[in-house]
A and B are shown apart, each in its own frame.
Chain A
Amino acid sequence: MTTTPMDGGQALIRALENEGVDLLFGLPGGAILPVYDPLIDSSIRHVLVRHEQGAGHMASGYAHAAGRPGVMMVTSGPGATNAVTALCDAHLDSVPLVCITGQVPLAAIGTDAFQECDTTGITMSVTKHNFLVTEAQDIPRVVKEAFHIATTGRPGPVLVDIPKDIVDPNSPRSAMEWSDEIEMDLPGYDPNVEVDPAAIAAAADLMRAAERPVLYVGGGILKARAAEVLYQLAEMTGIHVVTTLMARGAFPDSHDLCLGMPGMHGNFTAVTAMQEADLLVVLGARFDDRVTGRLDGFAPGARVVHVDIDSAELGKVRRADVAIQGDCRVAIEALIAELQANGLGDADRGAWRSRISGWQERFPLAYEAWEPGQALKPQYVIERLRDLSPDDTIVVSGVGQHQMWASQYWRFDHPYTWINSGGLGTMGYSIPAAIGAKAGMPDRTVWAVDGDGCFQMTAQELVTATVEGFPIKVALFNNSYLGMVRQWQEMFYEERYSEVFLSKDVPDYKMWAQSMGCEAMRVDDPDEIDAAITKANEIDDRPVVIDFRVMAEEKVYPMVPAGATNSDLVVPPSQADLSR
Chain B
Amino acid sequence: MNVAGPDYRYHTLVVTVENKSGVLARVAGLFARRGFNIESLAVAPTDDDRFSRLTIVVDLESAPLEQVVKQLDKLVNVVEIRELHPGSAVERELMIVTVEAEPDRRDELVEQLDRAGGKVLSVGADRMMLSLVGPPKRIDEFEDLLRPFGIVELQRTGRVALPVLDEDA
Which residues does A use to contact B, with CB under 8 Å?
120-121, 124-125, 128-129, 132, 149, 186-189, 310-312, 315-316
CB within 8 Å for A124 and B26 given contacts A188-B77, A311-B70, A316-B67: yes
Name the residue among A128, A311, A315 with the largest chain B CB count within 10 angstroms.
Answer: A311
* Residues from chain B with Cβ under 8 Å of A124 in the complex: 22, 25-26, 29
Indicate which residue in A132, A187, A312, A315 contacts B22 across the interface (CB closer than 8 Å).
A132
* Residues from chain B with Cβ under 8 Å of A311 in the complex: 70, 73
Residue contact A186 to B76, C-beta cutoff 8 Å = yes
* Residues from chain A with Cβ under 8 Å of B77 in the complex: 188
Residue contact A188 to B78, C-beta cutoff 8 Å = yes
Residue contact A310 to B74, C-beta cutoff 8 Å = yes
* Residues from chain A with Cβ under 8 Å of B79 in the complex: 187-188
Shortest Cβ gap from B126 to chain A (Å) = 43
Residue contact B76 to A120, C-beta cutoff 8 Å = no
* Residues from chain B with Cβ under 8 Å of A120 in the complex: 22
**Which chain B residue shows the least CB distance to A314?**
B70
Shortest Cβ gap from B90 to chain A (Å) = 26
**Which chain A residue shows the least CB distance to B32?**
A125
A316 to B76, CA, bound (A): 20
**Which chain B residue shows the least CB distance to A120?**
B22
Residue contact B25 to A188, C-beta cutoff 8 Å = no
Residue contact A188 to B29, C-beta cutoff 8 Å = no
B18 within 8 A of A: yes
Please name 20 further chain A to chain B contacts, defined as beta carbons within 8 Å, in addition to the given A188-B79, A312-B67, sorted by A numbering.
Answer: A120-B22, A121-B22, A121-B25, A124-B22, A124-B25, A124-B26, A128-B76, A132-B21, A132-B22, A149-B76, A186-B76, A187-B18, A187-B79, A188-B18, A188-B75, A310-B74, A311-B70, A311-B73, A312-B71, A312-B73
A149 to B77, CA, bound (A): 12
B17 within 8 A of A: yes
A71 to B78, CA, bound (A): 26
Shortest Cβ gap from A107 to chain B (Å) = 16
Residue contact B76 to A125, C-beta cutoff 8 Å = no
**Which chain B residue shows the least CB distance to A188?**
B79
**Which chain A residue shows the least CB distance to B72?**
A312
Shortest Cβ gap from A84 to chain B (Å) = 15
Q: What is the 8 Å Cβ interface bit string for chain B, positions 6-26, against chain A (1 contact, 0 not)?
A: 000000000001100110011
Number of residue pairs spanning A and B whose beta carbons lie under 8 angstroms apart = 38
**Which chain B residue shows the least CB distance to A311?**
B70
* Residues from chain B with Cβ under 8 Å of A121 in the complex: 22, 25
Indicate which residue in B18, B22, B29 contacts A125 across the interface (CB closer than 8 Å).
B29
Residue contact B70 to A312, C-beta cutoff 8 Å = yes
B115 within 8 A of A: no
3 closest A-B pairs by beta carbon, nearest first, are A312-B70, A188-B79, A129-B76
Within 8 A of A (CB), among B15-57: 17-18, 21-22, 25-26, 29, 33, 50
Residue contact A125 to B67, C-beta cutoff 8 Å = no
Within 8 A of A (CB), among B69-91: 70-71, 73-80
**Which chain B residue shows the least CB distance to A124?**
B29
Shortest Cβ gap from B75 to chain A (Å) = 7
A316 to B74, CA, bound (A): 14
A459 to B166, CA, bound (A): 66
Residue pairs across A and B with Cβ atoms less than 8 A apart, 20 shown, are A121-B22, A124-B26, A125-B33, A129-B76, A132-B21, A132-B22, A186-B76, A187-B79, A188-B17, A188-B18, A188-B75, A188-B78, A188-B79, A310-B74, A311-B70, A311-B73, A312-B67, A312-B70, A312-B71, A312-B74
A187 to B16, CA, bound (A): 11
Shortest Cβ gap from A312 to chain B (Å) = 4
B107 within 8 A of A: no
* Residues from chain A with Cβ under 8 Å of B76 in the complex: 128-129, 149, 186, 188-189
* Residues from chain A with Cβ under 8 Å of B67 in the complex: 312, 315-316
A311 to B70, CA, bound (A): 7
Name the residue among B33, B75, B76, B77 with the largest chain A CB count within 10 angstroms.
Answer: B76
A124 to B26, CA, bound (A): 7
* Residues from chain B with Cβ under 8 Å of A316 in the complex: 67
* Residues from chain B with Cβ under 8 Å of A312 in the complex: 67, 70-71, 73-74
A128 to B67, CA, bound (A): 17
A149 to B29, CA, bound (A): 20
B102 within 8 A of A: no
A566 to B111, CA, bound (A): 68
A120 to B21, CA, bound (A): 11
* Residues from chain A with Cβ under 8 Å of B78 in the complex: 188
* Residues from chain A with Cβ under 8 Å of B22 in the complex: 120-121, 124, 132
* Residues from chain B with Cβ under 8 Å of A189 in the complex: 76
**Which chain B residue shows the least CB distance to A149?**
B76
B140 within 8 A of A: no
Shortest Cβ gap from A244 to chain B (Å) = 22
B66 within 8 A of A: yes
A31 to B67, CA, bound (A): 39
* Residues from chain A with Cβ under 8 Å of B70 in the complex: 311-312
Shortest Cβ gap from B19 to chain A (Å) = 11
**Which chain A residue shows the least CB distance to B50?**
A187
Name the residue among A188, A189, A311 with the largest chain B CB count within 10 angstroms.
Answer: A188
* Residues from chain A with Cβ under 8 Å of B25 in the complex: 121, 124
Shortest Cβ gap from A458 to chain B (Å) = 27
A128 to B76, CA, bound (A): 8
A128 to B26, CA, bound (A): 11
**Which chain A residue shows the least CB distance to B75?**
A188
* Residues from chain A with Cβ under 8 Å of B29 in the complex: 124-125
A48 to B18, CA, bound (A): 37
Shortest Cβ gap from B147 to chain A (Å) = 40
A125 to B21, CA, bound (A): 16
Shortest Cβ gap from B136 to chain A (Å) = 28
* Residues from chain B with Cβ under 8 Å of A186 in the complex: 76
**Which chain A residue shows the least CB distance to B74?**
A312
**Which chain B residue shows the least CB distance to A186?**
B76
* Residues from chain B with Cβ under 8 Å of A132 in the complex: 21-22
* Residues from chain A with Cβ under 8 Å of B17 in the complex: 188
